Amino acid sequence: MRRHTSFLRCLKISFSIGAASLLAISTAHATIPYGGLTGGIPGTLGPGLAKPSIVPGKEYSHDIDHTTLGGGGVPDPQQVIAWDGSGGTADGLDYSGTRPNYPADDQVDALANRLDHLFVQVIGSPNLADRAHMIFSHDDEISVYPNGPPPVGGVGAFNPVTLPAAFNGGPVTLTTGKQIGGSGELSYELATAYSAPSTVGTWATQADINGMPNPIDVDAVELWGPEPAFKADSEKYSLDVDFFSGTSVWSLDLTNNVSTPYISQNQIRAAVTSLLGPVPGGAVLPFPTFTDGDNAINLDALMVQDIIPNPAGPDTFDRDPTGGTGDRILFSIRQIPNPNDLDGYYATGSEVFVLDGTQPNVATYLFHGGHFWDHAYALSNLQIAPTLINGAYAIIDLNALEAVSEGVVPEPSTWMVLLVGGVAVVAVRRRS
């Protein structure tokens, strides 16, 4: 048994090395070339976290979008990056030129697949524990109150700032004493089916995501796609800022390379205001330019479960005609400070909403980690330790969203190759 296991390991390593070599030959090199991974799907749901290096089909978007060519880090709007979890990267999808009616080269700020793995398992309730671990990142551009929250800080006292470079790599300490990853990393919250509520930490470091140059702000992530990941399956995406186009989520037809509107900014506005109330005077979106009122609502993190067939035309966000669960998304929006509010924010940016196409104007909050990801939770649990920001008051702004399991099940084709190889070797041994 041990000999057979050793053989399988050797065979698997050989295939990985071969795949990596082919990738290096067939694609332009990144600063650290993308290495081959075994394809697969989520496996065991349990207390452990699958390591980034074994989770297949990983893509991310950076703020600002960049390419891996030319030494890496060169700005390239709407370019998505494939990453292998060991520092290697390659250029993936580029949405530029795919929208006939909106050709602007805005920045990508959310990624998803139409059938995101673990979508259902990451959602819990007060009566049903969530079973998949949540993965998230946060923005390096937020609004801080140098003198504390209103009314101490006074009306108009917030400052839009880019956090110091120390926040890119973390860990970032919160006022609860807990630590999460930096803005150039990916953090986790463990599922409460296996752990204590609000258990957080760092899942993927800068070096895991892109070894050279290290990312500064990972603002979107997609997992569990095909391998190699630059084949890409992030067919749902968002651009910054939504009101520019009137669309919050776009749908890319991977066959025809054409993007069409999937969810409008008006739908997202209605969903957000159903929970947070109307956008008041004084609330503003500071980045990339000052925007107020309803236009300030800007989706920047996303997971999708598109289950209602629509064979007649472009993919759309649909209700269930029988009144059951329709297409659904998990999403977050960009932080909207409001100096007229006692807590300083209309939206902290770390509220996570659940929206169902059957009731497209009414959202609920995601329940994960033993709590709702709502405004109150963000204020009490996601405040940056003031000692890290010169005594200022600030809440993190979640800007990427995904889920992982404990294990990974290799794709069937991989098992078939290994099985055939094993049978062949046994046959040779018998002849000998």
Q: Alpha-carbon distance 113 to 238, whole Å?
A: 12
* Annotated domain spans of the chain: 40-410
Least confident interval from 29-43, 126-140, 164-178: 29-43
Render pLDDT for 52-104 as a digit per residue (tens, 0 to 9): 999 999 999 999 999 999 888 999 999 999 999 999 999 999 999 999 999 99
Question: Is the Cβ–Cβ distance between 299 and 276 less than 8 Å?
Answer: no
Flag whether pLDDT at 242 surpasses 90.
yes
The structure's pTM equals 0.89
Output the CA–CA distances (angstroms, integers) from residue 47 to 55, 256, 338, in the order listed.
16, 41, 39
The percent of residues above 90 in pLDDT, for the chain, comes to: 79
First CA to last CA distance, the chain: 19
Q: Alpha-carbon distance 80 to 94, whole Å?
A: 6
430 — pLDDT class (breaks 50, 70, 90): very low
**DSSP strand E in 97-185: where?**
107-112, 133-138, 141-144, 159-162, 172-173, 179-180
Q: Alpha-carbon distance 32 to 380, whole Å?
A: 40
Q: Is 177 exposed, middle or buried (0-12, 13-18, 19+ CB in 10 A)?
A: exposed
- DSSP string over 218-253: EEEEE-S--SSGGG----EEEEE-HHHHTEEEEEEE
155 — pLDDT class (breaks 50, 70, 90): low
Output the CA–CA distances (angstroms, integers) from residue 41 to 217, 233, 352, 407, 409, in the order listed.
27, 14, 25, 9, 5
